Structure 1
Amino acid sequence: MNAAMDEISLIQQAQRHHLVREIVEDEIDLEIGTGDDDDASFGNSSIMIVQEPAILSNEEQESGDLQLKKRKKKVVKRWRNEWADTYKWAYVDIKEGTSRIFCCICRQYGRKHRRNPYGNEGSRNMQMSALEEHNNSLLHKEALRLQMASDEKIVTVIDKSIHVKALSSRTSISIIEAVLRRDPHEAEFIQSVQESIHSLERVISKNSHYVRILERLLEPERTIVFRVPWIDDKGETHVNRGFRVQFSQALGPCRGALRYHPSMNLSIAKFLGFEQTLKNALSPFKLGGAGGGSDFDPKGKSESEIMRFCQSFMNELYRYLGPDQDLPAEDMGVGPREMGYLFGQYRRLAGHFQGSFTGPRIFWSGSSLRTEATGYGLVFFAQLILAEMNKELKGLRCVISGSGKIAMHVLEKLLAFGALPITISDSGGYLVDEEGFDFMKVPLLREIKAQQRNLREYCKTYNRAKYYEDAKPWSESCDLAFPCAAQYEIEQSDAINLVSSGCHILIEGSNMPCTPQAVDVLRKANVLIAPSKAAGVGGVAAGELELNRECNLMHWSPEDLETKLQDAMKQTYQKAMKAATDFGYAKESPDALAHGAAISAFLTLAQAMNDQGCV
């Protein structure tokens, strides 16, 4: 009797731990069926595969198969769910009849692959401990670096396709061909050059002397590429690459952003420097242009790691900086914290307190409007455009991409003007609130971003809002669009969605947010594009006011600075429209603003370069 009971108990235990093997490409995933397994029982119990007795009748077998299918649908990944989200590299396979956990990264990229680093012995806590130990091992991190290097090579091959625009002038075509021969793989820089030359065709055709000046302008005055070694909190050494491209100092000392992002490369540094050169030339303040940064990713790094990286970055770059030479500003991945660390190391190395880097809102900074200036300036610029059409922002639906400094300040200022901003986005998707954001909802959005949570959290408080994963906001019905995330965020399909959604005006908050194909779609649909070189002048204006001694002594109020910011945006808009009409573009043309901004900036630079000779 006892033997029979033991056999029944053994069969029930096997059924509770019935294993289903599911082959997905190269990985074998073990899923545990529903049962009463606890932390210890799974680790200490043996794995048994129980076959159905052969003496069952056909009806019983069919009934058993049906029950097995139903059971398979209800399978719960109790074991794997505990580590699958955290350790995405781990997978389960059978070796010598025993289930083992393996690392797919070490298996493919590791020089030494530990065959069975851990298996199914011990409790789940022991398994989690073993997984954490492998995740922090030097062998695993070496394999991760090899994987990242391999992925970067793949991206370089796939993503660096260059769209060559059709130009009407043979001279313009020859300039583009020269850039393509010299820098064939710098897609971002080449697109920026193409857009500018397309706007300058009428200028070049009227005066051939400008061709030689343009050829000189397209080659940076100084390109600095350097190594940035730093040590993390665990004592391990890392190496990143730093860039600074001082494009032109014809109008004055360079001002330009620093960007910390894994995608950063020389092409992006040159594109940022070139765009900043035109932007500064168009602004009321005559400044040179520069751009740079590093492929360092500040996300997931501790305060001390970021500080050590910034200090190492400045150890090389400080030689080329100074109030009369070049001062950096904020961009993606570089905020007040990073600028503070950079300036502190610069002051230490330079041995004096000359100037300040534009950006930080801390005690050694000048004005308090710097971080808001770019976002506010975009809204002021949109207001100027609408005023020419006898319209106003009040009541207009606006879609915004991004949720960083610029995007949030655009949202705030749109609310101040009575507009209806309905979207913001992050790396995972976008959030839409059809009722529109308001001043009561903005603090919640800021809290979510400050805690680095997903924007989906907003929907828990406001149930009518929706969060769409892996999507962009350009299909939402709108009157104005403010792309404030990154370059190339609007592709051809996104441009088609924007046109279909009723968008009439696009204000570029980020540098070059549209691909060439997207620009073609928008222009054919008569969507007015306000280029970032004109609409983004607000950051330049506030940065220069920050460095102005009179401003620092007077400590102007935010209201006074907003007035000066509005004046700067108005001057920029008027300069761009005047240049467009002088070269035959009608004010009503959607291309007038983009062409006029490039023409005005280039003519200012060309005059200075011509006066200074061939240098």
Structure 2
Amino acid sequence: FEQIFKNSLTGLPIGGGKGGSNFDPKGKSDREVMAFCQSFMNELYRHIGQDQDVPAGDIGVGGREVGYLYGQYKRLTKQYEGVLTGKGLTFGGSLARTEATGYGLLYFTNEVLKANGESLEGKTAVVSGSGNVATYAIEKAQQLGANVVTASDSTGWVYDPEGIDVALLKDIKEVRRLRMSDYAAERPSAEYHEGKGVWTIEADVALPCATQNEVDIDDAKNIVSNNYIALVEGANMPTTLEATKYLQDNGILFGPAKAANAGGVAVSALEMSQNSERLSWTFEEVDNRLANIMKNIFKQIQDSCTKYEQGNDYVAGANIAGFEKVAEAMQGQGIV
């Protein structure tokens, strides 16, 4: 339901689903990753299609993996169609797809803050993760005037009071595929810490962008005691239910993942549109559409909160707005 409601909120004609595999790409060569992707597609191709099911990347699946999967799909079907999103720009991908989830997160965060008399300008933000979502969330946050002072990976995290150096982060994680400890080694202002600890830093805005259930009740207590204004989810469901309730009960503005990180799937749908048109839009055109989609998602949530007297409970607002659209569509088609 989480993915279905998220896709519903985008206003685009897409359903939702989740799937994956138990293959761990860490420590594997490009050749090993390619062999697995090709083997995986040897079965998956029977169950997907541009008008049936369109997979996209997620944890452990980026542009490299999507490219291998798409290449095998074409070999097997002899079809050139928009059946996977997040493709390379030379074979049907969309500009701004790489940035979409992180950028969309910050467009949504900005709307949350504006609706409550705040803005990102001059704020300190903490981000967990150092993958696609985190990297571009940091980049857009800095463009909107915030100082982002943390990033992390599965082994540890860095605190950089001068602000995360995005160019160095991209080089470390995307090009050389190294650890955050290597970032700290090359950045004099950064401190490296083993394990967890991002949420102990004093800041204004928390942006968890790493993985599911990463923010627990102890983290929530740290966030409240440090007087954060907001927590907005960049990863899929990164905050436990207990932590979510504690944050809301203590007046922290809470942006749920099904709304806040919908930018990725929104631009996936825009990629599908471009594939259908056999056209490629400019970065600015895609980015502007993304910004408008995220603003519209927040407006739907606000409208639901007002209609059902939910105050600033954006979790309830997102659930109601997403559910109503799905329920209305099902009733209209005679499915229920």
Q: Which runs of 5+ in 1 are unaligned?
A: 1-273
Amino acid aligned to 1:286? P
Aligned equivalents of 1:537, 1:552: Cα separation in 2: 23
Aligned equivalents of 1:540, 1:442: Cα separation in 2: 23
Aligned equivalents of 1:547, 1:462: Cα separation in 2: 40
Shift, 1:553, TM fit: 4.8
Amino acid aligned to 2:302? M
Taking a change above 3 Å as real, the CA distance of residues 519 and 549 of structure 1, as seen in their structure-2 partners, is: closer
Whether 1:443 and 2:201 are equivalent positions in the alignment is no
Asked if the contact 2:274/2:281 (under 8 Å) is kept, the reply is no
Equivalent of 1:557 in 275, 282, 287:
282
Shift, 1:551, TM fit: 8.4
Aligned equivalents of 2:115, 2:303: Cα separation in 1: 14
Aligned equivalents of 1:339, 1:453: Cα separation in 2: 21
Shift, 1:577, TM fit: 1.0
Greater relative contact order: 1 or 2 (C-alpha under 8 angstroms, separation 6 or more)? 2
Whether 1:406 and 2:115 are equivalent positions in the alignment is no
Equivalent of 2:5 in 259, 266, 278:
278
Determine the structure 1 residue equivalent to 2:72.
345
Whether 1:485 and 2:206 are equivalent positions in the alignment is no
Shift, 1:382, TM fit: 0.9
Instruction: Provide runs of 4+ in structure 1 moved above 6 Å.
Output: none
Aligned positions of 1:22-421 closer than 5 A:
274-421=1-148
Shift, 1:517, TM fit: 1.7
Equivalent of 1:596 in 289, 312, 317:
317
Aligned equivalents of 1:500, 1:549: Cα separation in 2: 47
Equivalent of 2:327 in 589, 603, 606:
606
Aligned equivalents of 1:485, 1:528: Cα separation in 2: 20
Aligned length: 335
Whether 1:422 and 2:146 are equivalent positions in the alignment is no
Aligned equivalents of 2:185, 2:42: Cα separation in 1: 46
Determine the structure 2 residue equivalent to 1:541.
266
Aligned equivalents of 2:216, 2:30: Cα separation in 1: 35
Taking a change above 3 Å as real, the CA distance of residues 551 and 613 of structure 1, as seen in their structure-2 partners, is: closer
Asked if the contact 1:374/1:539 (under 8 Å) is kept, the reply is yes
Aligned equivalents of 2:92, 2:279: Cα separation in 1: 13
Amino acid aligned to 2:200? S
Aligned equivalents of 2:29, 2:187: Cα separation in 1: 32
Shift, 1:304, TM fit: 1.5
Whether 1:583 and 2:308 are equivalent positions in the alignment is yes
Shift, 1:348, TM fit: 1.8
Aligned equivalents of 1:610, 1:319: Cα separation in 2: 30
- SS of structure 1 residue aligned to 2:98: helix
- SS of structure 1 residue aligned to 2:20: strand
Taking a change above 3 Å as real, the CA distance of residues 459 and 540 of structure 1, as seen in their structure-2 partners, is: closer
Aligned equivalents of 1:525, 1:435: Cα separation in 2: 30
Shift, 1:456, TM fit: 2.0
Percent identity over the alignment is 44
Shift, 1:380, TM fit: 0.5
Aligned equivalents of 2:236, 2:187: Cα separation in 1: 32
Shift, 1:312, TM fit: 1.2
- SS of structure 2 residue aligned to 1:604: helix
- Give the greater-gyration-radius structure (CA): 1
Asked if the contact 1:356/1:364 (under 8 Å) is kept, the reply is no
Aligned equivalents of 2:49, 2:247: Cα separation in 1: 41
Aligned equivalents of 2:75, 2:182: Cα separation in 1: 42
Amino acid aligned to 1:598? N
Asked if the contact 1:356/1:365 (under 8 Å) is kept, the reply is no
Shift, 1:354, TM fit: 2.4
Whether 1:496 and 2:221 are equivalent positions in the alignment is yes
Whether 1:475 and 2:200 are equivalent positions in the alignment is yes
Q: Which runs of 5+ in 2 are unaligned?
A: none
Taking a change above 3 Å as real, the CA distance of residues 353 and 462 of structure 1, as seen in their structure-2 partners, is: closer
Whether 1:528 and 2:253 are equivalent positions in the alignment is yes
Shift, 1:390, TM fit: 2.7
